[in-house]
Structure 1
Amino acid sequence: MKGLKKQRRIQVIALAFVALAVSVGLIGYAMRDGINFFRSPAQVVSDPPRAGEVFRLGGLVEEGSLVRGQGETVSFAVTDGAAKVAVTYTGVLPDLFAEGQGVVAMGEMTGGTFTASEILAKHDETYMPAEVIDALKEQGTYVDPAAAGG
C-alpha cells in the first residue's frame, strides 16, 4: 500500500513537470513573432537583419532628411551618430515628430530601406526611449537635456 502511494505521487509530479514544460514551449512558440527587438542604426548596418524580420529602429531623425512624398508617405533618415538608415513610412506621423528628435519606428528592411509600419509617439518634446538613450550614450553622442539647460 505504501509503495503504491509513493509510485502514484511520483507519476503525478512527473506529469505536472511534463505539462509545465509543454506549456512553456507553447508560450515561447506563440510569442516568437510577437517579440520585436530594438536596434540602433549602427547595429543595423554592422549586423543586417534577416529578410522579413520585424524589429524596432531607434535614434534621432537626421536634420534635413525629412521628405514628404505623395499623400501620407514620408521618408527620412534615422541616425545614432555612427550610422544612418533610410526610412519610409506611410501614415499619419505623431504631432511631436520632428528632425533632430528621438524616434522609434517598427517595421522591416526592404531593399536597403527600413519600411516602417508604425512610428511610436513620444510623450513630450523631451521624451526619448531608454533604448535610444542607451544607444546614443554608447556612441558618445547623447547630451542630457537637463545638463544642457533644456
Structure 2
Amino acid sequence: MSRAATRKKRRLYMVVAGLLLLGTATALVLTAFQDNLVFFYSPTDVQAKKVGEDRRFRLGGLVKEGSVIKAGSEVRFTVTDMNADLPVSYAGILPDLFREGQGVVAEGKLDRSGVFVAKEVLAKHDENYMPPEVADALKKSGQWTGAQTEAASHKAPKN
C-alpha cells in the first residue's frame, strides 16, 4: 500500500470522526433545548390539542369570575378564554395583583383528572397591561376586546 493511500484513509477517518462528534453535539443541544421549552396554551388549545400529563406548559387566560376558592395555602380557580374553561390548582402565595376577571399566566402540568397544577402564577403588572399571549388567545376566541380589560380595571380596587 502506498503512502498516499494511508494519508487518504487517515483523512477519511478524521472527517468521519468529526462528523460523528458534530452530530452527537447537535443531538445533545437539541435534546436539552426541547426539555427546557415551555409552550403557551389557552384553555381551548389544551382541549383541542390533548396536551399530555407529563408536559410542562404555560396556561393563559382570564381568571373566571366567582371561581377562586382558597383553602389554606392551596388556591383553586378557573382560567377561561371565553370559549373554554380549565380548573387550576396552586399551592403557594399568589401575586398581589391576582384577582377575578384579570389576565393570568400559570406554568405547570395537567394531572390525571384534567386539573392544571400550577407551579408558578403570574399576574398583570398594572391596570392597563395584559400579557401579550393572553390577549392574543382571547382575541382569537372572538369574544374579547381590549375594552373588557379597561372595564375590569375600573371596578378593581386600587391600593
TM-score (norm 2): 0.78
Aligned to 1:95: 96
Identity, % of aligned pairs?
44
Q: Distance in 1 between matches of 2:16 and 2:124?
A: 49
When residues 11 and 130 of structure 1 are mapped into structure 2, their CA distance, relative to the original with a 3 A threshold, is farther
Aligned-pair Cα RMSD in Å: 2.6
User: Which has more helix, going by share of residues?
Assistant: 2
Aligned to 1:72: 73
Q: Which amino acid aligns with 2:137?
A: A
The alpha-carbon deviation at position 40 of structure 1 amounts to: 0.4
Describe the superposition over 1:22-71 as per-residue Cα deviations: whole angstroms up to 9, x where unpaired.
222111112232111111000112222112111110000011111111x2
The alpha-carbon deviation at position 122 of structure 1 amounts to: 2.9
The alignment partner of 1:128 has SS state of coil
Structural mapping, 1:1-150, within 5 Å: 16-69=18-71, 71-110=72-111, 111-145=113-147
Q: Distance in 1 between matches of 2:116 and 2:63?
A: 13
| Unmatched 5+ stretches in structure 1 | none
When residues 86 and 6 of structure 1 are mapped into structure 2, their CA distance, relative to the original with a 3 A threshold, is same
The alignment partner of 2:35 has SS state of coil
Q: Distance in 2 between matches of 1:29 and 1:89?
A: 29
TM-score (norm 1): 0.82
Larger Rg computed on CA atoms: 2
Q: Distance in 2 between matches of 1:89 and 1:135?
A: 22
